[in-house]
Structure 1
């Protein structure tokens, strides 16, 4: 899997064949297919391992221990930053290949679903403890958390704009607190 990750990131998912991965890993191509399946299944397994290795469970426990919105959001910002920074190469890989490969797009959708679910669990806690402004419900809170801490938010600031992770973390945390303390109603009214 590490050989595949390195090749996909270096050369691009579409350019790498299973033969390339097998040679890099020092195994026969048949062995590779027998152990991981197709190239898409290999990509899915690689990214699923990243999702499983993310620290969302421990992060949720840390957020729950926070006593106010600002500290909960700061904790969430730091934790999502850690995962985003740790898995930057996998995120870059997905961005690069999902437009040209339907199966890679399915993997992206899986990653996004897992990430959004983790943020939704945090939103449920924040709403249940009453630290977000009325009339925010779980959906509205989860959407605002996704806007601030979703993959695109980090990527926009760090990759597209060249910000440091420290600066992005500070801005996104501040933005999330603002959106959760004084929310704009759905539809912008």
Structure 2
């Protein structure tokens, strides 16, 4: 319970104040433990941030998402599924990932943590591209590696930040657009809608 209280406090403070502005003493005060306990249990700010990000990459729903990607046999359904899955992840993690993105240029340890998140997401996107290739659905000449890049270009956090922050799109608008944009980019045509 102490560990979870420390992680919850760290997550809330990182989102509210940013990585650099958050002090271990504040995390300890919020979690109602001594600062030494934060270091012992969480390894300080860096350890806490790493644990938080890794928890997102190893969450119990991740194997379910990967299994679902492998089970879908319709390319349009697969695209809709991966778009929705990344939207759900963005909704849950965007607050913390904004702080990771902000801190990463100045802090090598945070860049390493950001890479953990990126590698996890790219793994799921690569699986999606391989599944589309196995269906014979990728447009002519599109290799799996380039299809993975196209999925990343559309579905990574930075792309979501552009659509929601810079363009002011709602997540519903973004999801609808992504369904069509990725179908065209990956399959070469749009699904006919009723």
Q: Which of 115, 121, 127 is the matching residue for 1:121?
A: 127
Moved over 6 A (4+): none
CA 1:165/1:54 → structure 2, altered by over 3 Å: closer, same or farther? farther
TM-score (norm 1): 0.90
- Equivalent residue number for residue 53 of structure 2: 47
Separation of aligned partners in 2, 1:57 and 1:147: 23
Q: Which of 82, 106, 115 is the matching residue for 1:109?
A: 115
CA 1:144/1:56 → structure 2, altered by over 3 Å: closer, same or farther? farther
Q: Which of 21, 25, 31 is the matching residue for 1:19?
A: 25
Separation of aligned partners in 1, 2:57 and 2:12: 18
Structure 2's unaligned 5+ residue stretches are 1-6, 190-194
Q: CA RMSD in A?
A: 1.7
Q: What's the secondary structure of 1:105's corresponding residue?
A: helix
Query: 1:92-144 CA distances to partner (integer Å, 9 max, x unpaired)?
Result: 22122212222111111111011101110111111111111122221011111
Task: Report whether the alignment pairs 1:83 with 2:89.
Answer: yes
Separation of aligned partners in 1, 2:59 and 2:99: 17
Structure 1's unaligned 5+ residue stretches are 184-189
Q: 1:35-184, aligned counterparts within 5 Å?
A: 35-53=41-59, 55-182=61-188
The answer (yes or no) to whether the contact 1:54–1:83 under 8 Å persists in 2 is: no
The Cα of 1:53 is off from its aligned counterpart by: 2.2
Q: What's the secondary structure of 1:76's corresponding residue?
A: helix
Query: 1:14-42 CA distances to partner (integer Å, 9 max, x unpaired)?
Result: 01111111111100111111111131111
Separation of aligned partners in 1, 2:157 and 2:35: 34
- Equivalent residue number for residue 3 of structure 2: none
Q: What's the secondary structure of 1:87's corresponding residue?
A: helix
Q: What's the secondary structure of 1:131's corresponding residue?
A: coil
What is the total number of aligned residue pairs between the two structures?
183
